[in-house]
Every structure is written in C-alpha cells, then in structure tokens.
Structure 1
C-alpha cells in the first residue's frame, strides 16, 4: 500500500502560472504526491462583486477549500502582495467546533527572490523566542518523497499544532504594489 495522498488547495499569484502549472504537472499529474483542489476555477468572477469580506471568506471556504486538508502557498516574487492569497490563507486557518483548519505549507518557486512571504503565513512561522510554529516554508522540492513528507507534516499540524495558529481577523482590502 502506498502513502496517503492528501487533498491540497494551491494558493498562488497568477503571474506565476507557468511555474505553478509545472509544479502541479510534476507532483500531482506525474508523481501522484497529492490531489489538487481549487485550481482552474475563476474565483474573482464568482465572489469579487461583494464588499462583505465575511461573505467572501465563507465562499472561499465553501467553494474552493471545502474538501482540502492542506493549503500549499506557492511563493513567487510578488505572492506576498496579493489579497486573494491573504484571504485564502485566512480561510484555510479558520477553526471552530465544526471547522478543522487546513495544514499550511509554503514552497518557494524557482522565481522566488526573497521578497518575503505573505504576512499571514509569516505570522505562523517560527519567531524568535518560540519553540514551534504552525506552518513551514520549504525550498522547491527535488524529490517527491520530500514533498510528501512536508504535506504529511502540514496535515498532522491540524491536530498537533493547531493551538499555534495566528490568524488575525483583519485582512487585505486591496493588492499591494510589488
């Protein structure tokens, strides 16, 4: 029996589409590391018309994250500046009596240029004086077993590190300039 393939939501900036497509082709289509969720859907057409951000957040979860268990943020040079990435991460981290958060994993795309991470991802990484954190950021994987182990760790964090989630209510209203 092989490893469990988790259902993964991919969050990214659309300017990185070519690298994102290559990541999915390599690790989902060819190497069967995960089962992707949410790609190929035009989110903006469906939900951007609302100024009610709570409604937008609920729709992101209902339509795009609903049966995923791990969110991978693919980090390019301007990913940190995108409001939908912030919203997708915030929605991924929501938790409650009937809502289990997604695991959270950042992966640096080849074009990543050390411009930083989305702030909400950053808030869930290890800070000075802390012994652990909810999320992890990794270099672009060269092996499928490495990526599979990282996804497993993010999945396990949903139960064994969920108390470390930092998910403030405020969110981006607009994209930032990169």
Structure 2
C-alpha cells in the first residue's frame, strides 16, 4: 500500500532559512515524504506584505493552511520568539463548522535551543504522570519512515484528539528578544 503524502504547512523563524530549505529539499523534494506549503524559498508562495495582523492571518489561512492538514513547526534557536509562528500555530488549530484543525508536529532543527513557542507548548503535556495531548515533537528525522510516521500520527490526531486543543484567542503582538 502506498503512503499518502500529506500537505504540510511549514512554520519557522526566517533565521533558520538554510536549515528549513535543506529539510524541504531532503524530505519533500528528494524523498516525497510530504507536500510542503508555506512562505519559504523552497516552497511555492507569495510574500504577504501588510502590518494588519487579521489580514495577514486571513491570507495565510486562505493561501497555505486551507489545503494543508498538518502544520510542521521547525524549531530552531529563536522560533519561540517569533510572533508569526504563534499566529500560524493559532490559525492551524482553529476549528470551524466545516473545518478540521491541522495536526501539529514540532521538529527540532540542529540550532534548537530548548524552548518551544508558547502556544505549541500549551498543546504538549507537562503533567506527570504524562497525560495525553494534541501536539507532538521529535528530534530532526533520522529516516524518512520516522518522519512519515510522525506526520501520519499528527494527521490522525486532528480528529482523535481535537478535544485536547489549547488555543487562546490572544496572539503575540510583537517578537520577543532572543539572544
């Protein structure tokens, strides 16, 4: 049985552009693990020039999230500090009468600093003993099969774990300082 290639929205901090490009080339273009959607150099898409938060989020939903089913947050050193990452996660987790939220998967890039974006972190379990949660994260994939399995699990959790989504309405209004 052939593996289904899921359309994945890629959320990341532009400081990690080279690592993001490599990830997309390695796993989308070379190994066909998924279909990349988003605003990167290796992904088709137009830049959205506006300072209007609601307009930017509407355009991201319309152009990139509308036909994706999983959001992959590529976690680098300062990803946690980027407001657009917060906005993209918030939009990915939105539920509607006719829409299912995206699955949510974090992948640690080599520059990962140990901090998750707050909205992503809210969808992970910090309880002990561990209780279930909506999002998942992993180290940088060591194989295509590990990545395909993680994407598929995130895809399935869209319906099986939707009740565990934590998605407050307030968004980050500015980028945080990252050293």
TM-score, normalized by length of structure 2? Answer: 0.92
- Aligned alpha-carbon RMSD (Å): 1.3
Shift in Å, 1:42: 4.5
Residue 148 of structure 2 is aligned to residue 145 of structure 1:
no
Q: Name the structure 1 match of 2:121.
A: 122
Unaligned runs of 5+ residues in structure 2 are: none
2:163 maps to 1:163: yes
Please say if residues 39 and 47 of structure 2, whose CA atoms lie closer than 8 Å, have aligned partners that are also in contact: no
Structure 1 residue 28 corresponds to structure 2 residue 28: yes
Structure 1 CA distance for aligned equivalents of residues 39 and 5 of structure 2: 17
Matches within 5 A, 1:18-167: 18-40=18-40, 41-45=45-49, 48-50=50-52, 53-114=53-114, 116-129=115-128, 131-167=131-167
| Counterpart contact for 2:48–2:59, Cα < 8 Å | no
d(CA) in 2 for partners of 1:175 and 1:44? 18
Contact 2:83 2:175 in 1 (8 A): yes
Separation in structure 2 between the aligned mates of residue 117 and residue 133 of structure 1, nearest angstrom: 15
**Deviation of residue 113 (structure 1)?**
2.1
Q: TM-score, structure 1 length as denominator?
A: 0.92
SS at match of 2:10: strand
Partner of 2:6: 6
Q: Give the superposition deviation at 1:2.
A: 1.6
Moved over 3 A (4+): 39-44, 53-56
* SS of residue in 2 equivalent to 1:113: coil
Unaligned runs of 5+ in 1: none
Report which stretch shifted further, 31-40 or 119-128: 31-40
Which whole-Å CA distance do the structure 1 matches of 2:60 and 2:39 have between them? 12
